[in-house]
Amino acid sequence: MDAISIIRAKRDAQPLTDPQIDWIIDAYTHGTVADEQMSALAMAILLNGMTRREISRWTAAMIASGERLDITGALAAGTAQTPHATATPGAPGTPGARGATPGPTTDKHSTGGVGDKITLPLAPLVAACGATVPQLSGRGLGHTGGTLDKLESIPGWRARLSNAEMLDVLRSAGCVVCAAGDGLAPADRKLYALRDVTGTVESIPLIASSIMSKKIAEGTGSLVLDVKVGTGAFMKTVEDARELATTMVGLGTDHGVRTVALLTGMSTPLGLTAGNALEVRESLEVLAGGGPADVVELTLALAREMLDAAGLADADPAKALADGSAMDAWRRMISAQGGDPDAPLPTSRHQHIVTAPATGVVTRLDAYDVGVAAWRLGAGRARKEDPVQAAAGVELHAKPGDEVTKGAPLMTLHTDTPDRFDYATEALTTSYDIAPLGTEVPVAPIVRERIA
Ligand code: URA
């Protein structure tokens, strides 16, 4: 087997054989295939695609490059000896408030968007309804935020946990949000970094296998995919989003993970905030029974899918938001990961208000532009090793359908480094439209399609 003949085969649009796929993934993981050879192959895949069989084998090979966790088995085996598991509920915000028998595991993955803080209220909400939610998450890169960056704005909270610590948090809180360990799908870690710098991210076979290899290796029993579509998403058209969703659902099913996908709108930011601490604050509003309607709607839609996939369709997530049990699960999870759920969140040192240039009704607010502005304010990073500002971001005062008055605040920009304001406002100059009062603004449903 050699890399050049595999590159040539895909360059000439031939399907790769199972042994070719197994060999190239293994050889790349171990450094015998060079980055430039893998780059050429990734570009050939981007241009010529892969069959369903090839994608499935590619995914299996990436899973096999590292460890495969068995969270359900580990939780069941450890139930008797875990120090945190108790048969009776404890006080809110303290470990030990979870029942002794772990619920079925279920997870959610979003393909990434602007203001997408849904994991924060969703994981404790679904845990409060009886499921176990192991949520291995990532950091933001480019204009989309990262769940770990958001949670790190909570004083003391830790993203990096050992497998044993992760299981302990799951036992005590029913949910955990943490960084994926280095042992999980190492082939994907290498390949994703390479794709990032070779213009080969936007390939449906490569995105689907990258996401699903990590999720399958994590060992969840069921998975709900939130596939974003619109200006602020990877997938700009419903057709592409549908193809990505169908491919990922097929991969999950092939590997014994019950998988469902929702296609959801991402042309307008979710909620009223984009930025790390700003989004934590908004998530707390949702957990307290309030929050913006679109965030609540999507959180509940995804919670119902996760509970259904986990065999807990009778649970009522709306009740768990209203009665405070989701907030209790949040407090347990944050405490169990070293965070202080009562500590004040960081606030920005400088603010700049963007005002409405006319009186009227907002008809468009572009998710991509708002994401870029938040990133330029310091909420995101350009390179993986860059730090992020916890308090930076964009706070929206109006969304499509809202009326605004000339001179009234449209957005507040937050940063600790005010020299960023000019660059951020530049991204927002054509980010919204205001039409005369009385203009009808069609309201698109947040969930566009369900693929199972
Ligand atoms: N997220 C991933 O994990 N992989 C991709 O290829 C794209 C988004």
249-296 residue pLDDT tens? 999 999 999 999 999 999 999 999 999 999 999 999 999 999 999 999
The residue whose CB lies within 8 Å of the most ligand 1 atoms, and thus the one to mutate among 116, 201, 223, 240, is 201
Residue 78: inside a domain: yes
pLDDT at 81 over 50: no
* pLDDT given at position 75: 84
Q: pTM score, two decimals?
A: 0.92
Q: Measured from the CB, is residue 184 less than 6 Å from ligand 1?
A: no
Q: Measured from the CB, is residue 368 less than 6 Å from ligand 1?
A: no
For the residues of 105-121, what is the DSSP string, one character each?
BEEEEE---SS--THHH
The count of structural domains within the chain is 3
Residue 299 host element (H or E): helix 293-309
Residue 444: inside a domain: no
The residue-averaged pLDDT of 170-192 equals 93
The residue whose CB lies within 8 Å of the most ligand 1 atoms, and thus the one to mutate among 210, 215, 226, 248, is 210
**Residues contacting 245, CB < 8 A, separation 6+:** 225, 227, 261, 263, 449, 451
Using the 3D structure, point to which of 313, 336, 359 is the last residue of a domain. Answer: 336
Tens digits of residue pLDDT in 425-435: 999 999 999 99
pLDDT at 85 over 50: no
Which residues form the catalytic set?
109, 188, 195, 210, 214
348 alpha carbon – ligand 1 mean position (Å): 30
Q: Measured from the CB, is residue 207 less than 6 Å from ligand 1?
A: yes
* pLDDT given at position 110: 95
Tens digits of residue pLDDT in 273-284: 999 999 999 999
* pLDDT given at position 444: 87
- Verify that 229 and 375 share a domain, yes or no: no
- Verify that 309 and 396 share a domain, yes or no: no
- Verify that 173 and 148 share a domain, yes or no: yes
CATH of residue 421's domain is 3.90.1170.30
* pLDDT given at position 84: 34
Ligand 1: atom nearest CA of 138 is 3
- Verify that 34 and 171 share a domain, yes or no: no
pLDDT at 99 over 60: no
Residue 26: inside a domain: yes
* pLDDT given at position 311: 96
Q: Measured from the CB, is residue 211 less than 6 Å from ligand 1?
A: yes
- Verify that 39 and 106 share a domain, yes or no: no
- What is the span of the domain harbouring residue 233? 71-336
- Verify that 180 and 101 share a domain, yes or no: yes
Is 51 exposed, middle or buried (CB count within 10 Å of its CB: 0-12, 13-18, 19+)? exposed
The residue whose CB lies within 8 Å of the most ligand 1 atoms, and thus the one to mutate among 192, 213, 223, is 192
Closest-CA residue, ligand 1 atom 6, reads: 207
* pLDDT given at position 96: 42
At 382, is the pLDDT very low, low, confident or very high (cuts 50, 70, 90)? Answer: confident
For the residues of 343-397, what is the DSSP string, one character each?
SPPP--SEEEEEEPSSSEEEEEE-HHHHHHHHIIIIIS-SSTT----SS-EEEES
At 91, is the pLDDT very low, low, confident or very high (cuts 50, 70, 90)? Answer: very low
210 alpha carbon – ligand 1 mean position (Å): 5
Residue 140: inside a domain: yes
pLDDT at 381 over 60: yes
The residue-averaged pLDDT of 239-246 equals 97
The residue whose CB lies within 8 Å of the most ligand 1 atoms, and thus the one to mutate among 45, 55, 107, 111, is 111
- Verify that 205 and 178 share a domain, yes or no: yes
Contact 62, 215 (CB under 8 A): no
Closest-CA residue, ligand 1 atom 5, reads: 207
Query: By C-alpha distance, which of 177, 174, 250, 185 is closest to 215?
Result: 185
202 alpha carbon – ligand 1 mean position (Å): 9
At 399, is the pLDDT very low, low, confident or very high (cuts 50, 70, 90)? Answer: very high
Closest-CA residue, ligand 1 atom 7, reads: 207
216 alpha carbon – ligand 1 mean position (Å): 14
- Verify that 111 and 81 share a domain, yes or no: yes
CATH of residue 255's domain is 3.40.1030.10
Ligand 1: atom nearest CA of 211 is 3
Count other Cβ atoms within 10 Å, centred on residue 398: 19
* pLDDT given at position 143: 75
Task: Give all strands of the β-sheet with 360-365 in edge-to-edge order.
Answer: 403-404, 360-365, 432-435
231 alpha carbon – ligand 1 mean position (Å): 17
Contact 105, 222 (CB under 8 A): yes
Among 150-164, 189-203, 222-236, 387-401, whose mean pLDDT is lowest?
Answer: 189-203
pLDDT at 186 over 50: yes
Q: Measured from the CB, is residue 46 less than 6 Å from ligand 1?
A: no
* pLDDT given at position 139: 80
pLDDT at 74 over 90: no
Q: Measured from the CB, is residue 248 less than 6 Å from ligand 1?
A: no
**Residues contacting 149, CB < 8 A, separation 6+:** 139, 140, 276, 379, 380, 388
Rounded to 10°, the helix 276-287/293-309 angle is 70
- Verify that 38 and 81 share a domain, yes or no: no
pLDDT at 384 over 80: no
- Verify that 28 and 133 share a domain, yes or no: no
Tens digits of residue pLDDT in 55-65: 999 999 999 99
312 alpha carbon – ligand 1 mean position (Å): 29
Ligand 1: atom nearest CA of 214 is 3
Tens digits of residue pLDDT in 121-146: 999 999 999 999 999 988 876 777 78
Task: Please give the structure tokens belonging to residue 133.
Answer: 């939610």
Residue 344: inside a domain: no
411 alpha carbon – ligand 1 mean position (Å): 30
pLDDT at 450 over 80: yes
The residue-averaged pLDDT of 187-209 equals 91
Is 400 exposed, middle or buried (CB count within 10 Å of its CB: 0-12, 13-18, 19+)? middle
Residue 209: inside a domain: yes
In percent, how much of the chain has pLDDT > 70?
94
Tens digits of residue pLDDT in 312-347: 999 999 999 999 999 999 999 999 999 999 999 999
- Verify that 377 and 424 share a domain, yes or no: yes
CATH of residue 34's domain is 1.20.970.10
Residue 122: inside a domain: yes
* pLDDT given at position 181: 85
Task: Please give the structure tokens belonging to residue 195.
Answer: 């794709």
318 alpha carbon – ligand 1 mean position (Å): 31
- Verify that 244 and 392 share a domain, yes or no: no
Q: Measured from the CB, is residue 210 less than 6 Å from ligand 1?
A: yes
Helices (H), 400-449: 421-428
pLDDT at 348 over 50: yes
Residue 448: inside a domain: no
Q: Measured from the CB, is residue 192 less than 6 Å from ligand 1?
A: yes
**To the nearest whole number, what is the mean pLDDT of the chain?**
92
